[in-house]
Structure 1
Amino acid sequence: MVTPKVSNRAAQEPTLVQPNVENHYDVTPADLPLSCPMPGMHLWNSHPKVYLAVEEEGRVKCPYCGATYALTDAR
C-alpha cells in the first residue's frame, strides 16, 4: 500500500477562504484599502478584483457579488 506524501510547501501555505461564501464582512481600518475579493481569498473562481470606498459611509456593497462590508472601529 502506497501512502501519498504531503509536501512541506502544502503544509506551510495559509488556508485561503472561499470568496463570496458569506454576504457580509466586518472590516477594520487595517483592512484598508478595501477590495473584493479580499486578500486571503481564492481569486480564480471569483469576479475581477474591485476596490471599494467604505470610508465615506462606513458601509459598501460589491457591485459584482453583492457582498456587503461594514467598517468597524476595532484596530
Structure 2
Amino acid sequence: MSLIENTKRSIEVTAEDLPLHCPMPNMEKWNAHPRVFLKVEKTGEALCPYCGTHYTLKGGALQGGHH
C-alpha cells in the first residue's frame, strides 16, 4: 500500500479499510491529529472533523449486516 498525503482532500476507501479512521496508517503524517473513527458504512461517505479529508466508500453504502 502506498503512502497517502494528509493534504489530499478526497480519498476512496474499500470495505477492507473498515473500520475507517483518520489518519489512516498509510498516511505520511499518520500522527497529524488524534485518531478519529468515521462512520462511512451507512451513507458511503464521511468527513474528518480534524483535517477535512472527505472519504468515499467504493461501491457506496453497505447494505444490511453489521459492518
Q: Same fold (TM over 0.5)?
A: yes
Query: Unaligned stretches of 5+ in structure 1?
Result: 1-13
Report how many residues are paired: 58
After TM superposition, give the deviation of residue 43 of structure 1 in Å.
2.4
Give the counterpart of 2:14 among 3, 28, 31: 28
| Off by >2 Å, runs of 4+ in structure 1 | 14-18
Greater helix share, structure number: 1
Length-normalised TM-score, structure 1: 0.68
Counterpart residue type for residue 63 of structure 1: P
Across the aligned residues of Structure 1 and Structure 2, the Cα RMSD in angstroms comes to: 1.7
1:47 and 2:33 are equivalent in the alignment: yes
Name the larger-Rg structure: 1
After TM superposition, give the deviation of residue 15 of structure 1 in Å.
6.6
* Residue in 2 that maps onto 1:72: 58
CA change 1:68–1:32 in 2 (3 A) is same
Query: Unaligned stretches of 5+ in structure 2?
Result: 60-67
- Percent identity among equivalent residues? 47
Length-normalised TM-score, structure 2: 0.75
Q: Deviations over 1:9-41 (max 9, x none)?
A: xxxxx87443x2100000000110100001112
CA separation in 2, counterparts of 1:29 and 1:60? 14
1:57 and 2:43 are equivalent in the alignment: yes
